[in-house]
Amino acid sequence: MQNTRILLAARPDGWVDDSHFTQDTQPVPEPGDGQILLRTIYLSVDPYMRGRMNDTKSYIPPFQIGEPLSGGVVAEVVHSNHADFAVGDTVIGLLDWAEYSVSNGEGLRKVHAGGHPLSYHLGILGMPGLTAYVGLVEVGRVQAGESVFVTAASGAVGSVVGQIARNMDCYVAGSAGSDAKVAHLKNTLGFNDAFNYKSVDSVHKTIAGLFPKGINVAFENVGGAQFEAAIWNMAVFGRIALCGMIADYNISRSEMPAGPRGMTNLIGRNVTLQGFIVSNYPQAAPAWDAQCREWLAAGKMTYDESVAEGIGAAPGAFVGMMKGENFGKQIVKVGDE
Amino acid sequence: MQNTRILLAARPDGWVDDSHFTQDTQPVPEPGDGQILLRTIYLSVDPYMRGRMNDTKSYIPPFQIGEPLSGGVVAEVVHSNHADFAVGDTVIGLLDWAEYSVSNGEGLRKVHAGGHPLSYHLGILGMPGLTAYVGLVEVGRVQAGESVFVTAASGAVGSVVGQIARNMDCYVAGSAGSDAKVAHLKNTLGFNDAFNYKSVDSVHKTIAGLFPKGINVAFENVGGAQFEAAIWNMAVFGRIALCGMIADYNISRSEMPAGPRGMTNLIGRNVTLQGFIVSNYPQAAPAWDAQCREWLAAGKMTYDESVAEGIGAAPGAFVGMMKGENFGKQIVKVGDE
């Protein structure tokens, strides 16, 4: 039996493209004592992975050239030499981008569909959903009725941020990169307002118009001009949850992205800007999981997925996501549930 | 009896100089019913006043051309038509830059020397001292033994930040704009280390060398390159208390100051950056006042003042402070205690 894997071929400098990936095919590995063999069902495709393609020290080590990429994976146990795992168990964990992988079980968590697609464990019931909750509620300390601005609002994280805010009776407006996404935000996800950041004359003036009394909580996924405009439009005692700056990830390392101007606005308005990594907030997971399942069951939360088919489609799915081509959460279906 | 006042002559664009001030001399005003006549003893000269010279909406209204500047003042009541104030009382409040002024008592607070110079009420026992405490303890949430970096460290605020940190057994390093100030920080104020930001090859590398494990709390008064370097050198879960950005205040409005690059560092390290205005934290004043007086009495807190003499010296004192020529807190002695 053969095992196809996706490897890092070269480190991108600026935009990532297909040339930065390669693949190989090897025999399926043999699990040793205390190990299990896993068959990949879904791969998660996430913006933070772009940072791991750079050779820079961060909170998570960089990918190595010639080695498989890795990320969030839902997989089925197909052979077990481990007392805690049985053949047929479904698990989630950080695993290689490969059709099969071997694990000693460390960091794996068993998951059950529970009436939802298994892939939701890579999205709304997984890291991106918890990121939305932690950023808005724990970091952003949002209160019912406040005003919320979210960038990349139709994405895996932003779409959940907006719906949490809506369910908390907040005024929520978001930005996205196409008119179709903007329509989806307003018509399906219940955003009060939304705009296409690529087509408005001025992001700054658009945000100012949407938030005449200022933004109470800004959930920042994008960086660049939108981040700067948010800084200029915060309300007194506002909070900015800094989750990602995907616009900056695509800029060549030789031209370091400009920083947001107007930081003195943070002083005069007593604004808090907090960067965060969801893995630092594990204690928030049970509350979010319960709330999310309640809202899903009540039809008060929806979740969109863009699904690429087959391990070979993973590089293209990643490149497309970095360009904003996905609609909601980008995943790759590698094998059947 | 005559009353000399300092007026705003023109709005500076970038660096402020003597041409932006003028003075006039008028008869001393007559206090009406319910009013008091105040004789100015000390004027406070503070960086935030530079912002009030711009015609921009902020947390405090702009100065008006042809009108007196105003700021923190210690004054003596010389005539009273107000039941709460008696001739001879000493008060502090936001008053005009003038030898005499009339007030209805609103916003005034009686002060007593209490063994300290009266001018301390404009400094360590006043707004700058409370700013240091609020920024380090309430905003920065400093803990005993942590590492602290402070810019403009020999200034009215920074010198107090450093001494609080030292008294809390923190490691504290600061930056200043002259070798004499650096020596004072290390030899007199008890900083563990300090550097002259004007003469080091790289502010970034200097800070990295002083904080090999990263900065737990950065107290930012300056902005510009030092702010950016702090952002790159924060420890995981670090806090940046953003108090001022004096370097930016001197840049022409036609060339908006560049923003700090590398904000993604805040994400990976889960750093909080909070701007603040001391007037939003009145509840902190009693604790700080008691702690400060205890440390002053025990010789565990010292405070330096640069004193200019006479109302006519006020513009020059302000211009000099914006250039960093002062040593510690800049005040103007307008009349005898």
Cβ distance B59 to A268 less than 8 Å, yes or no, reads yes
| Residue matched to tokens 């999310």 | A292
How many A×B Cβ pairs under 8 Å? Answer: 111
**Mutation for testing the A interface, residue in B49, B270, B277, B280 having most A CBs under 10 Å:** B270
Share of chain B above pLDDT 70, in %: 100
Taking residue B301's Cβ as centre, other Cβ atoms within 10 Å add up to 21
Please state, in angstroms and rounded to a whole number, the distance separating the CA atoms of residues B314 and B289: 28
Strands (E), B231-310: 234-242, 272-275, 305-309
* CA–CA min distance B99, chain A (Å): 30
**Mutation for testing the A interface, residue in B56, B134, B263 having most A CBs under 10 Å:** B263
B242 touches chain A (CB under 8 A): yes
B256 touches chain A (CB under 8 A): yes
Cβ distance A275 to B267 less than 8 Å, yes or no, reads yes
Which of 195-224 (B) contact A at CB < 8 A? 223
pLDDT, tens only, B208-229: 999 999 999 999 999 999 999 9
Side chain identity, residue A330: Q
DSSP letter at A294 equals H
Taking residue A64's Cβ as centre, other Cβ atoms within 10 Å add up to 13
Please state, in angstroms and rounded to a whole number, the distance separating the CA atoms of residues A177 and A321: 12
Q: Which of B218, B243, B242 is nearest to B48 (CA)?
A: B243
Neighbour-count burial of A83, counting CB atoms closer than 10 A to its CB (0-12 exposed, 13-18 middle, 19+ buried): exposed
Give the pLDDT of residue B255.
80
A269 touches chain B (CB under 8 A): yes
Give the pLDDT of residue B139.
98
pLDDT, tens only, B109-125: 999 877 889 999 999 99
- Using 50, 70 and 90 to split pLDDT, how confident is the model at B250? confident
B289 touches chain A (CB under 8 A): no
Cβ distance B262 to A256 less than 8 Å, yes or no, reads yes
Identify which of B236, B268, B277 has the shortest CB distance to residue A267: B277
**Mutation for testing the B interface, residue in A139, A267, A280 having most B CBs under 10 Å:** A267
Strand partners, A333: A42, A309
A93: enclosing H helix or E strand:
strand A90-96
Q: Which of A50, A43, A45, A44 is nearest to A99 (CA)?
A: A43
The token duo for B64 is 């008006």
- Mapping DSSP to helix (H, G, I), strand (E, B) and coil, where does residue A273 land? strand
Q: Going residue by residue through chain A (337 aa), what tens digit of pLDDT does each one get?
A: 899 999 999 999 999 999 999 999 999 999 999 999 999 999 999 999 999 999 987 788 999 999 999 999 999 999 999 999 999 999 999 999 999 999 999 999 999 877 889 999 999 999 999 999 999 999 999 999 999 999 999 999 999 999 999 999 999 999 999 999 999 999 999 999 999 999 999 999 999 999 999 999 999 999 999 999 999 999 999 999 999 998 888 888 778 888 999 999 999 999 999 999 999 999 999 999 999 999 999 999 999 999 999 999 999 999 999 999 998 999 999 999 8
Cβ distance A280 to B260 less than 8 Å, yes or no, reads no
CA nearest to B236 within chain A: A59
**Mutation for testing the A interface, residue in B250, B267, B276 having most A CBs under 10 Å:** B267
Cβ distance A270 to B266 less than 8 Å, yes or no, reads no
Residue B254 scores a pLDDT above 90: no
